[in-house]
Amino acid sequence: MATTLLFVYGTLLSGERNHPLLAKAEPRGAACTAAAFDLVDCGGFPAIVPGGSTAIVGEVYAVDDPALAAIDRLEDHPHFYRRTVIRLTDDHLVEAYLLDRDRTTGLPRLPSGDWRDQR
């Protein structure tokens, strides 16, 4: 079965409320994006916005098609988040859910790039 390498950085992280959607996924470890994004606090969940200068901290999982479809529904892809190919600091290309900048106007930025730091 085909898998997709998925970078997660918020409620899908290990120990977070939506992580059960990754129960059958293969963990590939901690990861960090290139410093090309902003991390935004959307109130209860974060969003990556392209075009910033922050490296985002997260985890990578090899996700099968049924799990990816379930996560797409959670993230309302492609109507809210858009699953997009991004580059990690180790030059691997993975997919992640990004939000358009216009949806984040006025929301606080998390300069650490680590959603868990906000708590």
75 is annotated as an active-site residue: yes
Task: Classify residue 24 as exposed, middle or buried by CB count within 10 Å of its CB (0-12, 13-18, 19+).
Answer: exposed
Determine which helix (DSSP H) or strand (DSSP E) holds 31, and give its type and residue range.
strand 26-32
* Nearest Cα to Cα of residue 10 among 51, 37, 34, 42: 42
Cα dihedral across residues 11, 15, 17, 22: positive or negative: positive
Q: From the candidates 16, 26, 59, 75, give the one annotated as an active-site residue.
A: 75
Question: Catalytic site residues?
Answer: 75
